[in-house]
Amino acid sequence: MSDDILTVKNLKKHFVIGQEGTINRKPITVKAIDGISFNVREGETLGLVGESGSGKSTVAYITVGMYRPTSGTITFRDQDLFADSKGRPLALKKEVQIVFQDPGSSLNPRRNIKQILELPLRIHQPDKDRLHEIIRLLDLVDLPPEYMHKYPQSLSGGEKQIVAVARALATNPSLIILDEPTSALDVSVQGKVINLLIRLQREFNLTYLFITHDLSLMRNVASRVAIMYLGKICEVAEAAEFFQNPQHPYTQMLLSSIPVVSEEEEAAKPEKIISSGEIPSPVNIPPGCSFHTRCPYGMDICKQIDPVMVETGTGHVVRCHLFEQPQEVLQPATSAAPSPT
């Protein structure tokens, strides 16, 4: 599809973290990502939601090039991001940038803002007047040029994160991955950073892959949302549809647990599904559907067979046995599809 900037096909990432057994040493594998496929359209903000162990950060790290996939492909504008085994070419590194979650550790404490912003400029635009560019970047994110000589420690959390955004912009990328960009910030600062991101998106026609666990934030930022659980995608839908008509039991559980501040929001939440038990560790993923240990609607089939993605509405896909019609697995569900309420 020509207006998909990023296409992920059947991506898997397994980490071998050790070995068990003394004689027949079996490797212990963490299946951080276990077969996911999704597209990101140019100019949109795709939200990726999930709790710990879901693999959402791993998706981010693979996309930006920190890890290589175990199998599967990621293509950026029809170019395989991992075609070159020696490492990603600079031209592609320039296009895909990332803003990390913790501004405290994503900015080198021993480098001042000028040096931090200078690095990408030096690599990708060696000819331009760097000082000029740095001032321009700071201006883009509403920071005064005097900040150049400050070190990250003297900046507030919000300002640090804004510098991280400026750094991501320095290479003129097309796709920016935002890994929990405001999770470490106070709510009164969050708005500034998010609104800045939205403004920059419009100004530079950027595409965002926005990762967060904060569903209320996601509601107001993403155009489409995908939710992950233990390395697999459970549901994908347009934002409004995702929140008004959540179909996967995990989505409903998550939505019903979030703390909100007003009565209207309380009413908008699905009925309370009390989560019981622990989140399984990605080392020991339960057989069948990985969510069946906590699912209130678990059926026998859930313990044995992993469900596949089924389309239940325009652009709305769910991976759950509740939505599978026998022998019609890959066809769009009709209005007779059961939805638990």
Residue closer to another protein, measured from CB, 1 or 264? 264
- List of E strands, the chain: 4-20, 26-41, 45-49, 71-76, 79-80, 96-99, 175-179, 207-212, 224-229, 232-238, 309-313, 316-319
Site for another protein in 219-278 (CB under 8 A): 219-221, 240, 243, 253-255, 257-262, 264-265, 268-269, 274-278
Contact, 108 vs 118, CB < 8 A? no
Contact, 95 vs 175, CB < 8 A? yes
Q: Name the one range near another protein by CB under 8 A: 2-10, 26-34, 69-77, 214-222.
A: 214-222
Site for another protein in 273-302 (CB under 8 A): 274-279, 281
Least distance between another protein and beta carbon 281 (Å): 7
> By 3-state DSSP, what share of the chain in percent is helix, strand and coil, each rounded to 5?
35, 25, 40
Contact, 81 vs 68, CB < 8 A? no
Q: How far apart are CA 22 and CA 15, in angstroms?
A: 20
Site membership for another protein, residue 3 (CB under 8 A):
no
Residue closer to another protein, measured from CB, 46 or 253? 253
Site membership for another protein, residue 84 (CB under 8 A):
no
Site membership for another protein, residue 216 (CB under 8 A):
yes
| Cα dihedral value 107, 110, 111, 116, nearest 10 | -20
Site for another protein in 62-81 (CB under 8 A): 64-66
Q: Binders of another protein: how many residues, by CB under 8 A?
A: 85
Site for another protein in 10-29 (CB under 8 A): none
Q: Name the one range near another protein by CB under 8 A: 4-12, 141-149, 315-323, 330-338.
A: 141-149
Site membership for another protein, residue 306 (CB under 8 A):
no
Site for another protein in 22-61 (CB under 8 A): 51-52, 61
312: burial class by Cβ within 10 Å (0-12, 13-18, 19+)?
buried
